[in-house]
Amino acid sequence: MTMAIQKTGSCRLALACLLMLLISVPLISEAWALQINGLQMPHSFIADPAGDVYFISNINGEPEARDNNGFITKLDKAGAVTGLSFIRGGQNGVILHAPKGLAVVGRTLYVADLEAVRAFDTTTGRTVTTVTVSTSPTPDLASLVADAQGMLYASETNSNTIYRIDPSRNYAVSVLVQHAQLAGPRGLAIHPKTGNLIVASWAKGKLLEVTPQGIVSELYSNSFFSSRFNNLDGIDFDSWNNLYIADYTAGKVWRMRPSKRFDVIAEFLPSPANLSVDRKNHLILVPFQQVNAAEMNGLESPIKSTKPRDMSDYGRDWVPRSK
């Protein structure tokens, strides 16, 4: 195995917790959680939906600093790092200050970087284009997501704004919604059935739904009697329409089932940030921003079968077996 497993500190705790990602997963003798180390403030971790590669954004400094030293890490289908600094600010003419949200459409990797969305070739890492999105005096684009038509959406936490970017119209930028009700929009996901945008609130611990017309409604919000969430970051759906939610300050990953039942699937985690789901391989991808590590973990298939369970039921059939 080409990745080192960190044996001490909070990263070890993260590994132990995420090994039990689903309460229903039986204990097994072979490791099926892979940890990536050597990162620098990793914020987002995504899979290329069309291939077998992964990308991690590294802020590498203050989250709003214009230091041009942010970088993107690339991994192969087995989770091995093939380019720690596959794309790096200050090299090969690249500008990349504090990369956060990521999205892949075709052969283009989109990166949210303060006020701009920067596009790169997923194979070569070369710059494709740069789109200025925000005019805020304190720009901080946090998350990106693409819908089935390739339309991009970007959240800006500081200004309570969600932008829409249309690559088919020369990357035309418009405001989908700007409202205090968003309460610091952070993570973004596309609802697999409605196509609406699902938004995680950083400031109020809310989950919201936004239509293509910019109409906002609440899916869940904390109440006086029940304060389930703290500061929410990444969200994403799996292949079975479960929504996974990272609570950054509480150190938890939640699962919201289609019935809106909530389960804590991992806790005591160090700063889980903008997680995502690799729906092709049934994996959850979690970056730990403050401890410079990230993990890939299998998700259990809910489909019942008469055959004995094996690693393929948890998205880990391609992991080398222990000898």
Q: Which two structure tokens, joined as six digits, stand for 244?
A: 């996974």
Q: What is the pLDDT of residue 50?
A: 85
Pairing type for strands 34-36 and 42-47 reads unpaired
Among residues 204, 288, 214, 208, the alpha carbon closest in space to that of 243 is found at: 208
Sign for the CA dihedral angle at 128, 134, 137, 138 comes to: negative
Within 10 Å of residue 197's Cβ, how many Cβ atoms? 25
Backbone angles phi, psi at 233, to 5 degrees: -125, -110
Distances (CA, A) of 279 to 15, 49, 89, 202, 267: 21, 8, 30, 25, 22
Among residues 64, 9, 11, the alpha carbon closest in space to that of 34 is found at: 11
Q: DSSP letter for 233, please.
A: E
Q: What is the pLDDT of residue 306?
A: 52
The Cβ-side half-sphere exposure at 71, using a 13 Å CA radius, reads 17
Q: What is the pLDDT of residue 250?
A: 95
Coil vs helix vs strand at 181: helix
Class of CATH domain 9-299+309-314: mainly beta
Q: DSSP letter for 274, please.
A: B
Query: What is the mean pLDDT, run by run of 10 residues, along the chain of 323 residues?
Result: 36 45 32 84 96 95 95 96 97 97 97 98 97 94 96 96 97 97 96 96 94 94 77 96 96 93 93 96 96 92 56 43 32
From CA 2, how far away is CA 197, in angstroms rounded? Answer: 37
CA 74 to chain centre: 15
From CA 70, how far away is CA 210, in angstroms rounded? Answer: 31
Q: What is the pLDDT of residue 300?
A: 75
Q: What is the pLDDT of residue 149?
A: 94
For the chain, the domains span: 9-299+309-314
Q: What is the pLDDT of residue 27?
A: 25
Q: What is the pLDDT of residue 307?
A: 52
Q: DSSP letter for 168, please.
A: G
Contacts of 292 (CB under 8 A, 6+ apart): 37, 38, 39, 40, 41, 42
From CA 247, how far away is CA 169, in angstroms rounded? Answer: 35
Pairing type for strands 108-113 and 116-121 reads antiparallel
